[in-house]
Structure 1
Amino acid sequence: MADVRQLRSHPTDEWIAQMRARYPTEPSIDEALTRRLRKRGQTVSYSSPTLDHVGERLAKFLGSQAEGPVAIRNLQRLTGGASKEQFVFDLDWVRDGEQRVGDRMVLRCEPAASIVETSRRREFELMRFGGSLMPVPPVYWLDEDGSMMGMPSLVSGFVTGTQKPAQVSSNVSGMGIHFPADYRAALAPQYVRYMVALHQAEIPADGLPSFVRPAAGTTEASELLVNWWARIWAEDLYEEAPIATITEHWLRRNAPVLDRASVVHGDFRTGNFLFDEASRSITAVLDWELGYIGDRHGDLGWVITDLYITREAGVPYHCGLFAGTDDLVEQYEAAGGLPIDRKKLAWHKIFCTWKQLVLSLGCALRAGDGRTHQDVLLTWLSGGGYVLSESLRRLLEEHG
């Protein structure tokens, strides 16, 4: 049998089947992860498509989807983001029998690889679901398998707003964004209110068909999550990290029982919402690709990881908004949120920190090896894995 390091770079059908059997997860997630392995063996290096090439494919795609003639103007690359390749353009089209002129749109596409390999179908469904609860860019068209665009893609509306106060510096992926007191007073209640609305929303019987609904009263939700990210680590790592294995075993031994299935955004943090600088109203919640149905504690656990801590006068703030875990939980419950179990929250904080480690020392390095337009950025992000290792060591020592 081939060396496992070689198999990670050039997966065989047999090895892919072994990964699928070892880490059972949701069918749509399994499909996305299997697709990326098959692409990995075929991709030598990635280069971004030219605007002319994108424009030609986009015109054919929208021409086959829209109800009338379309005209695409001002197609440009959209900067930002560490995951998908994005473009912005103006569209003349017919919607519900009405001629529309100059609607600003976003095209979101998968490169050959990215720091997160996800399903555009899941993202499309979640954005539609979330759009009834909070401001979310409207989604219009989906090329699920890339047969039209050459890569799985979706088209959404463009929403204006900023990620941070004008006078505040930040790092990539929302790290380092800190909100002064007057911004916190305006934004934190909106942020919490939208999170509460998402977690409490009832999922219609025919809603979110691409998602598995874990059973309440079981550990199924936790097991699916751990399998998802354990599989990614097994497929992406370049060298073993004992702390990753120790954490995976801890998570499995201590898997919490689900009390109520909620829609979880999966990446609900600063950098993933836009707001209007003048009114300080949130204009859009973005990046739904990591969402799932599971335990609401997952979204709060992501917020309180060390990665998104900022400081003001020595006081640590989670996502630059909440003065400690108690502040976040108190605001969440005061907004009508379901009760937060501190033991479950601790499990999800450890899980989310482990997930960040997998993204840093596994996914970022693997995708950055010539398979994405963001290779420099992803290689830089991988350096955070060693800081995250120490965070995990301390968390396991505290809760072990």
Structure 2
Amino acid sequence: MSDSVPPGVAVGALEAFLEQEVPGLLSGPLHVELLSGGRSNLTYLLSDGHRRWVLRRPPLGHVLATAHDMNREFRVLRALHPTAVPVPKPVVIAGAEVIGAPFYLMEFTDGAVLRKRSQLEAFTARAGELADSLVATLVDLHGLAPDALGLSDFGRPSGYLERQLKRWAAQLAASHSRDLPELVALGERLARSLPGEQPPALVHGDYRLDNVMVDVDDGSVSAVLDWEMATLGDPLTDLASMALWWDGIRGLDSPVAAVPGDVPGYPGSDGLVRAYAQRTGRDLADFSWYLGFAYYKIAAIFEGIHYRERQGLTVGDGFAQLGAMVPALVERGHAAVGQNV
């Protein structure tokens, strides 16, 4: 065991559990490192000196029953691992009785998460391959049949868009700290112009470049991460999310991750969207609505973070920046939807 163990993992109890449930997995004492955490589930890197794994668990101090969330993520990984969609191999899942919170373990995947501008600049020569693999992976995901994966009950695709709008409107109402009439108006515009339902698919819920691992040699996607928002729904919400984070927030100095659209040599998101349409044959006539919705959703999320930051409930850097981005996101959302709605 390492001398300094980050909070949230009872290493001795975890070692005993793994030795019982997965005999032969460990060949030495576990060393634990916190990789990321704060706004969502916590992610730890585990090593026995020979092999590496990743452990996911809910945030510290989370008092609600959260085993369901872990079960959903683990279930998606188990269903997808045999498919063409690259995901880490799931190992084992457990309830709160082992480390004090539900968790699951998955194998470590080699690759890089491109969150810094310097990392994107280093990939400029392979920007085209990177964009192509990001799109191809999304096409593969949306081409899977949920029934064949055993995920037919993983969500309610009918009425998905309407429920999404209501969800984020409710979050805005619950985190009101300033008047944002244009953000409210954007949600109302979207509600008045709901597009017809697309053939449903398994959707990631937060698909973007910094939620995948990239092979540093060829620029291909080696694993799709962070499945906590996955469900059955409208696949074009994933496409719009990818486009927004690719270059839709360029120039806004986002603290979340570097924006490919801010780096010379990267293709525009319009090319990625066209490639998706060509490969899937899906009707993108209403894509402007989905892009407007993507801006609305991110603005609502950032406004919620802004509210918590003002209440002193956030820890870390960049939270104030997110609140400052909201007006620009709203403006871009209105522009995406257009003038006739």
Flag whether TM exceeds 0.5 (same fold): yes
Cα pair 1:122 1:289 within 8 Å, conserved: yes
- Within 2, Cα distance between the matches of 1:290 and 1:308? 22
Amino acid at match of 2:324: G
Pair 1:361-2:299 in alignment? no
Q: Which residue of 1 aligns with 2:134?
A: 191
Aligned match for 1:59, one of 10, 15, 30? 15
Pair 1:341-2:284 in alignment? yes
- Higher relative CO (CA 8 A, sep ≥ 6), structure 1 or 2? 1
Amino acid at match of 1:351: F
- Within 2, Cα distance between the matches of 1:209 and 1:367? 39
Question: Alignment length, in residue pairs?
Answer: 320
Q: CA deviation at 1:308?
A: 3.8
- Within 2, Cα distance between the matches of 1:50 and 1:267? 27
SS at match of 1:142: strand
Cα pair 2:165 2:187 within 8 Å, conserved: yes
Task: Mark the CA change 1:155 to 1:306 in structure 2 (over 3 Å): closer, same or farther.
Answer: closer
- Within 1, Cα distance between the matches of 2:212 and 2:273? 20
- Within 1, Cα distance between the matches of 2:98 and 2:261? 41
- Within 1, Cα distance between the matches of 2:92 and 2:222? 21
The superposition leaves residues 245-295 of structure 1 with CA deviations (integer Å, 9 ceiling, x where unpaired) of: 222222222122213111111222121122222233322111122222111
- Within 1, Cα distance between the matches of 2:97 and 2:41? 17
The superposition leaves residues 319-375 of structure 1 with CA deviations (integer Å, 9 ceiling, x where unpaired) of: 9654242x12321233x21323231x1111111111101111114542785656x44
Q: Which residue of 2 aligns with 1:385?
A: 326
SS at match of 1:151: coil
Q: Which residue of 1 aligns with 2:40?
A: 83
Cα pair 1:127 1:137 within 8 Å, conserved: yes
Task: Mark the CA change 1:141 to 1:385 in structure 2 (over 3 Å): closer, same or farther.
Answer: farther
Task: Mark the CA change 1:379 to 1:369 in structure 2 (over 3 Å): closer, same or farther.
Answer: farther
Pair 1:328-2:285 in alignment? no
Pair 1:134-2:85 in alignment? yes
Pair 1:351-2:293 in alignment? yes
SS at match of 1:376: coil
Aligned match for 1:148, one of 98, 109, 121? 98
Q: Which residue of 2 aligns with 1:106?
A: 54
SS at match of 1:279: coil
Cα pair 1:51 1:76 within 8 Å, conserved: no
Q: CA deviation at 1:88?
A: 0.9
SS at match of 2:161: helix
Cα pair 2:292 2:334 within 8 Å, conserved: no
Q: CA deviation at 1:206?
A: 6.9
Q: Any gaps of 5 or more consecutive residues in structure 2? A: 252-258
Q: Which residue of 1 aligns with 2:113?
A: 163
Q: Which residue of 2 aligns with 1:94?
A: none
Q: Which residue of 1 aligns with 2:75?
A: 125
| TM-score of the two chains, using structure 2 as the length reference | 0.79
The superposition leaves residues 104-163 of structure 1 with CA deviations (integer Å, 9 ceiling, x where unpaired) of: 1111222246xxx9922222222233332222111223345x343323432211112113
Q: Which residue of 2 aligns with 1:281?
A: 220
Amino acid at match of 2:165: V
Q: Which residue of 1 aligns with 2:232?
A: 293
Task: Mark the CA change 1:80 to 1:212 in structure 2 (over 3 Å): closer, same or farther.
Answer: closer
- Within 2, Cα distance between the matches of 1:73 and 1:205? 37
Amino acid at match of 1:89: L
The superposition leaves residues 20-56 of structure 1 with CA deviations (integer Å, 9 ceiling, x where unpaired) of: xxxxxxxxxxxxxxxxxxxxxxxxxxxxx84595314
Deviation larger for 146-155 or 64-73: 64-73
Pair 1:272-2:211 in alignment? yes
Percent of paired sites with the same residue:
24
Amino acid at match of 1:125: R
The superposition leaves residues 218-258 of structure 1 with CA deviations (integer Å, 9 ceiling, x where unpaired) of: xx121222233233333334334222322222222212221
Aligned match for 2:171, one of 228, 232, 235? 232
Task: Mark the CA change 1:367 to 1:209 in structure 2 (over 3 Å): closer, same or farther.
Answer: farther
Q: Any gaps of 5 or more consecutive residues in structure 1? A: 1-48, 92-100, 171-176
Aligned match for 2:151, one of 192, 195, 208? 208
Q: Which residue of 2 aligns with 1:6?
A: none
Amino acid at match of 1:55: V
- Within 2, Cα distance between the matches of 1:103 and 1:89? 8
| TM-score of the two chains, using structure 1 as the length reference | 0.68
- Within 1, Cα distance between the matches of 2:242 and 2:262? 6
Q: CA deviation at 1:180?
A: 5.8
Cα pair 1:165 1:179 within 8 Å, conserved: no
Cα pair 2:142 2:202 within 8 Å, conserved: yes
Cα pair 2:8 2:99 within 8 Å, conserved: no
- Within 1, Cα distance between the matches of 2:222 and 2:236? 24
SS at match of 1:268: coil
- Within 2, Cα distance between the matches of 1:399 and 1:56? 61
Amino acid at match of 1:107: L
Q: Which residue of 1 aligns with 2:254?
A: none
